[in-house]
Amino acid sequence: QSHSIKSLLNGQVDTGQTVEIKGWIRTTRDAKGFSFLVVHDGSCFDGIQVVADESLPNYSTEVIKLFTGCSVIVTGELTESGGKGQNLEIKADKVTVVGWVENPDSYPVQPKRHTMEFLREVAHLRPRTNTFSAMMRVRNTMAQAVHQYFNQRGYLWLHTPIITASDCEGAGDLFRVSNLDLLNLPKTDKGDIDFSEDFFGKETYLTVSGQLNAETYACALSKVYTFGPTFRAENSHTQRHLAEFWMIEPEVAFADLNDMAALAEDFLKYLVKQVLDNNADDMQFFNQFVDKGCVQRLETLLDDKFEQVNYADALKILEKANVKFEYPVKWGLDLQTEHERYLTEKHFKKPIVVKNYPEEIKPFYMRLNDDKKTVAAMDVLVPGVGEIMGGSQREERLEYLLNRMKAHNLDEAEYKWYTDLRRYGTVPHSGFGAGFERLISYVTGLSNVRDVIPFPRTPGNIKF
């Protein structure tokens, strides 16, 4: 029976016991008659030091030839370590080499600092680095925490379709889905394949949001959330856009925009608390090497009350700011990342919720406010990232919804199922979407979302 390195370092096994570990060598060091091997298995931030001496039968034939990256099984006695900083180690009785490294000099992840750009080129091996194994453990804690949070509060996890015929956000950044058989179809006059009937006779796309489907379930089961992959054919090369990302979308009946602002704040704080409680070592690493002071920033967040500000007032703050922005600040234009970051980093110095955006820059489903100029929309902005969540109160009044659909050139017949919710027992309801990678980026301080998802999908990035 083998042990996780975490269980050993946590003191779950008494010293003096014989233990077995399985993992990959991170570093080796040889002294006269001894080899010191640090072995990692991903269960926790640290590896454990193995002391192998020349009495091992394969010492000179194998052990001294071990190198970073080799996989091993080690059995031996768990002992207090004499070495500085290490309090436990294994005195090996047996070291079995499971997998050699073909050519040690060619092993891509040497025990030294590599650039993030380089590590993206070796996405299959980067989980063996401190940064990516720590990121992955934090990502896992946050994913589990998402489900715990909503489950504890009576939300049902809803699986919404990946293949869809609607463009929820109306931004037109859709990936087409087609049936391969289409490739055998006759060509059009111009010689192109006619894709207009891709999915068994219907144009289809990969989903940009599960929201419209989530609304139908919220308007029957009261509280639901989605958590799944989401796709956007945005040809953007920024630190915060992926073509495939994970989104969490709670949707709540009998709830308004203020309820969503409160839910978003509570939810974000819950995730942060779970990470601080469960990933102290991983966060200590980020704090020291990636984003100095990030632990302090997260601890402060837990005590901060998020600031709420109307879009109109945010514009006033930006107009008064003594900063030359690249993009104009004007009523009817969306806030750009530089504006968002100014507001949250320089002005308020904490997370903020910007509310009530002009109707013309927001999707068709948002509820028109009494001023008839703005909609009940909100964006949650955080220092370091900018927009991390976006949501709204939905238009529950049939007439208003039909008007907005007309203005957005949407075909009423195609959305009959959606407007039906307003015909049969309509209720005020609201929800938001949180970008999972942006949440992880915020928590870890890893500023590029390509570095917080195992296999990033961005323009030109599809190798792995």
DSSP alpha helix (H) spans, 172-305: 211-221, 257-278, 280-289, 294-303
Query: For Mg ion, which is the closer residue by CB, 41 or 387?
Result: 387
Query: For Mg ion, which is the closer residue by CB, 72 or 268?
Result: 268
**CA dist., res. 201 & res. 189, Å (int):** 19
Q: Which does 391 bind (CB under 5 to 8 A by kind): Mg ion, ligand 4AD, none?
A: ligand 4AD
**CA dist., res. 239 & res. 447, Å (int):** 7
Residues that bind ligand 4AD (CB under 6 A): 168-169, 209, 211, 232, 234, 241-242, 245, 247, 249, 387-392, 431-433, 435, 437-438, 449
**CA dist., res. 338 & res. 329, Å (int):** 11
Distances (CA, A) of 79 to 5, 32, 83, 190: 14, 21, 11, 76
Q: Which does 440 bind (CB under 5 to 8 A by kind): ligand 4AD, Mg ion, none?
A: none
Q: Which does 247 bind (CB under 5 to 8 A by kind): Mg ion, ligand 4AD, none?
A: ligand 4AD
Minimum CB separation of residue 437 from ligand 4AD in Å reads: 5
Amino acid at 145: A
Closest C-alpha to 80, from 18, 10, 16 = 16
Minimum CB separation of residue 379 from Mg ion in Å reads: 6
Query: For ligand 4AD, which is the closer residue by CB, 275 or 389?
Result: 389
Q: Which does 66 bind (CB under 5 to 8 A by kind): ligand 4AD, Mg ion, none?
A: none
| φ, ψ of residue 417 in degrees (nearest 5) | -55, -35
Instruction: Return the ∠ at Cα 135 (arms to 132 and 137), rounded to 5°.
Output: 110
Minimum CB separation of residue 431 from ligand 4AD in Å reads: 5
Residues that bind Mg ion (CB under 5 A): 390
**CA dist., res. 278 & res. 154, Å (int):** 24
Q: Which does 168 bind (CB under 5 to 8 A by kind): ligand 4AD, Mg ion, none?
A: ligand 4AD
Query: For ligand 4AD, which is the closer residue by CB, 69 or 383?
Result: 383
Place of tokens 């989401």: 230
Two tokens at 425? 């027992």
Minimum CB separation of residue 133 from ligand 4AD in Å reads: 22
Query: For ligand 4AD, which is the closer residue by CB, 121 or 234?
Result: 234
- What does DSSP say about strands 386-393 and 223-231: parallel, antiparallel, or unpaired? unpaired
Two tokens at 5? 């390195």
Query: For Mg ion, which is the closer residue by CB, 45 or 267?
Result: 267
Are the C-beta atoms of residues 383 and 344 closer than 8 Å to each other? yes
| φ, ψ of residue 90 in degrees (nearest 5) | -115, 125
Amino acid at 3: H
Are the C-beta atoms of residues 257 and 393 closer than 8 Å to each other? yes
Closest C-alpha to 249, from 367, 331, 159 = 159
Minimum CB separation of residue 266 from Mg ion in Å reads: 20
Query: For ligand 4AD, which is the closer residue by CB, 21 or 354?
Result: 354
Query: For Mg ion, which is the closer residue by CB, 46 or 249?
Result: 249
- Nearest-CB residue to Mg ion? 390
Q: Which does 128 bind (CB under 5 to 8 A by kind): Mg ion, ligand 4AD, none?
A: none
Beta bridge partners of 387: 381
Task: Find the largest Cα–Cα distance for the chain.
Answer: 85
Minimum CB separation of residue 390 from Mg ion in Å reads: 3
Minimum CB separation of residue 295 from ligand 4AD in Å reads: 23
Query: For ligand 4AD, which is the closer residue by CB, 76 or 386?
Result: 386
- Nearest-CB residue to ligand 4AD? 435
Q: What is the dihedral of CA 287, 80, 110, 107, to 10 degrees?
A: -140
Minimum CB separation of residue 388 from ligand 4AD in Å reads: 5
The total number of residues written for the chain in this structure: 464
Q: Which does 291 bind (CB under 5 to 8 A by kind): ligand 4AD, Mg ion, none?
A: none
Query: For the chain, what is the radius of gyration of the CA atoms?
Result: 27
Query: For Mg ion, which is the closer residue by CB, 89 or 167?
Result: 167
Minimum CB separation of residue 161 from ligand 4AD in Å reads: 14
Minimum CB separation of residue 20 from ligand 4AD in Å reads: 42
